[in-house]
A and B are shown apart, each in its own frame.
Chain A
Amino acid sequence: MTGEAIPSPHKGEGKGEGSSTRVYRRPVPAGWWARRSHYFWYIVREFTALPMALWLLWLLIDIRSAAVRPVNFHPQTSIAFVAFSVVCLAFALYHSFTFLSLAGVIIHVKVLDRPVPSRLIVLSQFALWAVASIVIGFVLIWFAR
C-alpha cells in the first residue's frame, strides 16, 4: 500500500491546493434570532442604531427651529413625541450599557507596568458617561433663561 491510497486530510494545506474546495454552509433559518434570548438581545443591540438615528435627525430639526421668526417658534410638547423619545431613550440606554461594558475587553492600559483591571476600565467609562451627562444637563438647563 502506498501513501497515496488514502489521501492525507492535510493535503494541499499551504500549497494552494484545495482552494477550489466547496465549503458547506449550513442554511440559517430566517427567524434564528428569536430562538434564544442571547440571539434576540444581540439583534436588539444592533437595532439600537435605528431609533437613535431617528432621534438625532429630530435634533437637527430642533436646531433648525431656531432659524424661524420668534412668533413661529413652537417647542415640541406633544405626547406622541414624548412617547417616541421614551422608546429612543430605552434603546439609547441599552446601547450605552452594552457598548461601555465592552471597554474592559477592548481597552488595555498599563500603569507602572501593571495592567489596569478590566473592571476598573469599565467603571471609568461609566463614570465618564455620568460626568458628561451632568455637564450637558447643566448647560441645557442653565441656559434656559
Chain B
Amino acid sequence: MSEPAHGPAGGRPHAGKPAYTHLFWWFMFAQGGVIAAILVPVHILLQGVLGPLGVVDTADRHYASWNTLLGNPLVKLYLLVLIAFPFFHFAHRLRYLLVDLGIPSARGTVAQVVFYGAAVAVTLLALAILLTTAPISLG
C-alpha cells in the first residue's frame, strides 16, 4: 500500500474535524486493493488465458451461458464491485506513480479530478453496461 503520509485525495484533515473525505477515499483505495488482489487474477487466468487457449471452457465463451450468468442480479452486482472498486485503487496508485517519476503536479487538484473522475466514469460505464446487457432474470 502507498505511504500513509498522503491520503488518496491529497491534503491533510483539519484538527478537530472528522476527515470524512479522507475516510471515503482511503476506504475506496483499500477495498479496491483487496478486491483487485483477491478476485482479479483468477478472472485473467481463466477468461484471458486458459479459456482462449481452449484448456478450459468458461461461461463467457458461450452466448447462452454468458447471457444466463449476466442476467443474474447477484452476478451483476459482483461484476460492478469487481470492476468499480479497483479503479479507485488504480487511480491513487497511478497518480502517485507520476509523482514518483518526477511529475509533482500529479498531486494537484486537477490531477485528482482527472484520476478519481476517471474511476467514477468507469463505475458509471460499468453500471450502464451491466444494466443494459442481459435482462435481469432469477431463473
Contacts and interface: CB of A to CB of B under 8 A. Distances in A.
Partners in one complex: yes
Interface of A: 28, 30, 33, 43, 46-50, 52-53, 55-60, 62-67, 70, 73, 75-78, 81-82, 84-86, 88-89, 92-93, 95-96, 99-100, 102, 106, 125, 128-129, 132-133, 136-137, 139-145
A84 to B, nearest CB: 8
22 contacts: A33-B101, A46-B94, A46-B97, A48-B93, A59-B47, A60-B122, A63-B70, A63-B130, A63-B133, A65-B60, A75-B60, A78-B52, A82-B53, A85-B48, A89-B44, A92-B40, A96-B37, A96-B41, A99-B1, A100-B38, A106-B1, A142-B59
Contacts, number: 168
Nearest to A78: B52
A55 to B, nearest CB: 6
Given A28-B102, A62-B60, A100-B37, A49 B49 contact: no
Could you tell me the dominant secondary structure of chain B's interface residues?
A: helix
Contacts of B77: none
B120 interface: no
A75 B61 contact: yes
Contacts of B12: none
Contacts of B46: 136-137, 140-141
Given A57-B122, A141-B57, A46 B96 contact: yes
Given A76-B52, A92-B44, A140-B60, A67 B133 contact: yes
Could you tell me the dominant secondary structure of chain A's interface residues?
A: helix
A53 B86 contact: yes
Interface in B20-62: 33-34, 36-49, 51-53, 56-62
A109 B37 CA distance: 21
A134 B128 CA distance: 29
B69 interface: yes
